[in-house]
């Protein structure tokens, strides 16, 4: 039987893969380059084939190296998570919750869930990554986050939705509360197309959702369009510059309660979506992430946020 992989060897291999050279990897690992080179050779001897293609500009994993890298990443993450869990149980370390979210979901549900989590478990720390779904999917696969909040989509080979943690949300056409459109009757989406709009970028869920709503009515996207990933800028353009927006309620409910933003009374000016929490298929969910998931489940069941 072959000997099991040494985690020290796997961490060295992963670091060289990420850094692209022995020199940079040795600096990261705090070891000499000759020692790191010997470690990589031992791992290659164990595998029975080269793991890197060596070039004048650096080192790149071979096909075999790429295959090993996926397993090394999983094993190292599980080892780190196990150590963190055990140290936290012994009171020697603070556990860390790593969660990703779409910008439109970084509102009431997540913020209140984090507050509840930390009230129950003050020893925990929370790291939040905000991005598009593609970025969150990648972050899950790279073990940068353990949970991700997003719009319900089909599962992939690497990532799956958690079926008992789903909730409904809606998107709406919005304007400043004092916009002239707020006082017009019998509005249709066609009547709004000449106005300036502020939306998230093409390819993001809100943009695609709005485009689909317009397509159902055989309407093109508006010409006067600002696209930005900044939710703050979108709301500022709506409140201060007369723009219209298409936003999930969770993005503007604070401004709506403050009397700054209002839904435009237009036929077809809203759509429903289903939101959920995702995790990696492989591996054990770290204990801190399990605790956040428990809080999220409770809030979804309680108020259907």
CATH number assigned to the domain comprising residue 32: 1.10.10.10
Q: Are 242 and 254 in the same domain?
A: yes
Structure confidence at residue 75 as a pLDDT band (50, 70, 90): confident
Q: Are 72 and 196 in the same domain?
A: no
Q: Are 265 and 208 in the same domain?
A: yes
98 found inside a domain: yes
Q: Are 232 and 292 in the same domain?
A: no
pLDDT at residue 94 in the model: 66
Total domains, the chain? 3
Report yes or no on whether pTM surpasses 0.75: no
Per-residue pLDDT of 252-301, as tens digits, reads 988 999 999 999 999 888 898 888 999 999 878 888 899 999 999 988 76
Final residue of a structural domain among 46, 76, 106: 76
Structure confidence at residue 305 as a pLDDT band (50, 70, 90): very low
Q: Which residue in this structure is represented by tokens 């719009």? A: 151
Per-residue pLDDT of 173-201, as tens digits, reads 999 999 999 999 899 999 999 999 999 88
Q: Are 120 and 211 in the same domain?
A: no
Q: Are 72 and 104 in the same domain?
A: no
pLDDT at residue 168 in the model: 86
Q: Are 99 and 55 in the same domain?
A: no
Check pLDDT > 80 for residue 303: no
82 found inside a domain: no
pLDDT at residue 92 in the model: 40
* Mean predicted confidence (pLDDT) in 236-246: 96
The range of the structural domain enclosing residue 124 comes to 88-167+274-303
> Cβ(195)–Cβ(224) under 8 Å?
yes
176 found inside a domain: yes
Q: Are 14 and 132 in the same domain?
A: no
Q: Are 46 and 173 in the same domain?
A: no
Structure confidence at residue 91 as a pLDDT band (50, 70, 90): low
What CATH code is carried by the domain that includes residue 143? 3.40.190.10
Mean pLDDT of all residues belonging to the chain: 87
66 found inside a domain: yes
User: Of the ranges 79-83, 156-160, 198-202, 209-213, which one carries the lowest mean pLDDT score?
Assistant: 79-83
83 found inside a domain: no
Q: Are 150 and 287 in the same domain?
A: yes
pLDDT at residue 259 in the model: 96
Structure confidence at residue 1 as a pLDDT band (50, 70, 90): very low
């Amino acid at each position: 039987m072959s000997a099991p992989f040494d985690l020290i060897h796997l961490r060295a291999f992963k670091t060289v893969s990420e850094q692209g050279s022995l020199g940079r990897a040795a600096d990261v690992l705090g070891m000499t380059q000759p020692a790191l080179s010997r470690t990589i050779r031992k791992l290659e001897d164990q595998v029975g084939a080269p793991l890197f293609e060596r070039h004048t500009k650096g080192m790149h994993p071979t096909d075999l190296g790429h295959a090993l890298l996926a397993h090394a990443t999983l094993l190292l993450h599980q080892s780190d998570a196990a150590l963190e869990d055990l140290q936290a149980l012994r009171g020697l370390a603070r556990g860390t919750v790593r969660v990703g979210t779409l910008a439109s979901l970084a509102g009431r549900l997540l913020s209140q869930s984090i507050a509840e989590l930390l009230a129950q478990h003050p020893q925990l720390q929370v790291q939040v990554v905000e991005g598009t779904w593609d970025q969150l999917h990648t972050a899950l696969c790279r073990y940068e986050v353990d949970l991700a909040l997003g719009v319900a989509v089909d599962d992939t080979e690497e990532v799956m939705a958690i079926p008992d943690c789903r909730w409904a949300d809606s998107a709406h056409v919005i304007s400043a509360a004092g916009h002239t459109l707020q006082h017009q009757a019998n509005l249709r989406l066609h009547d709004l197309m000449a106005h300036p709009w502020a939306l998230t970028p093409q390819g993001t869920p809100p943009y695609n959702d709005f485009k689909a709503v317009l397509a159902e009515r055989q309407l093109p996207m508006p010409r006067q369009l600002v696209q930005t990933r900044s939710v703050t800028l979108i709301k500022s353009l709506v409140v201060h510059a007369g723009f219209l927006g298409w936003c999930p309620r969770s993005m503007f409910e604070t401004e709506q309660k403050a009397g700054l933003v209002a839904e435009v009374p237009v036929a077809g000016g809203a759509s429903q979506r289903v939101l959920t929490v995702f995790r990696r298929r492989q591996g054990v969910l770290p204990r801190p992430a399990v605790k956040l998931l428990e809080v999220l489940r409770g809030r979804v069941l309680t108020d259907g946020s």
